[in-house]
Amino acid sequence: MAYFWLKVLHIVAMTVWFTGLFFLPRLFIAKARGGHGDDVEHLNVLGKTLYFSVLTPAGIATVGLGLALIGFGFQGIWLPLKLVLVSGLVMLHLYYGGLLLDLTHGRTRHGLTLFHALNWLPLALLLAIAALTAAKPQTLAGFG
């Protein structure tokens, strides 16, 4: 029964985390397009709230619950591959935090093109993670 609830909470936390990772680049795009006074301040507050009050706790919960699930055991190459993808997701999360900090202080390292590309990166990672989790290949040949 503990496995079931850990898995449910892991999936819920992951869903919240990805929702934020999908939304945050849209804020970057809005900030990069420019705004005036109150609009900019509203986007700053929204971005900070989303990142620190929603994304980060959900990301920590997702990783923590996932690590707890590993304690129930696994077989095959799928989990090490999934952990590599999740590590990339954590790095993306941290990169988003750096971009948010820059944009909050009026600095922009990148243009709209990169922000639009960053909008799609979490989806690619989500699909890859879901495919690995669903298929649970025992070997790399398990994909062929």
Closest CA to 78 of 124, 7, 134: 134
Alpha carbons within 13 angstroms on the beta-carbon side of residue 99 total: 24
Question: Which residues, at least 6 apart from 76, have a Cβ–Cβ distance to it below 8 Å?
Answer: 136, 137, 138, 139, 142
pLDDT (0 to 100) of residue 36? 66
pTM here?
A: 0.88
Tens of pLDDT along the chain (144 residues) come to 899 999 999 999 999 999 999 999 998 888 888 766 667 788 889 999 999 999 999 999 999 999 999 988 878 898 999 999 999 999 999 999 999 998 888 887 778 888 899 989 999 999 999 999 898 888 777 565
Separation of alpha carbons 112 and 99, rounded Å: 13
Structure token digits, residue 5: 């609830």
pLDDT (0 to 100) of residue 142? 59
Separation of alpha carbons 47 and 35, rounded Å: 14
Length of the chain: 144
pLDDT (0 to 100) of residue 22? 94
pLDDT (0 to 100) of residue 44? 86
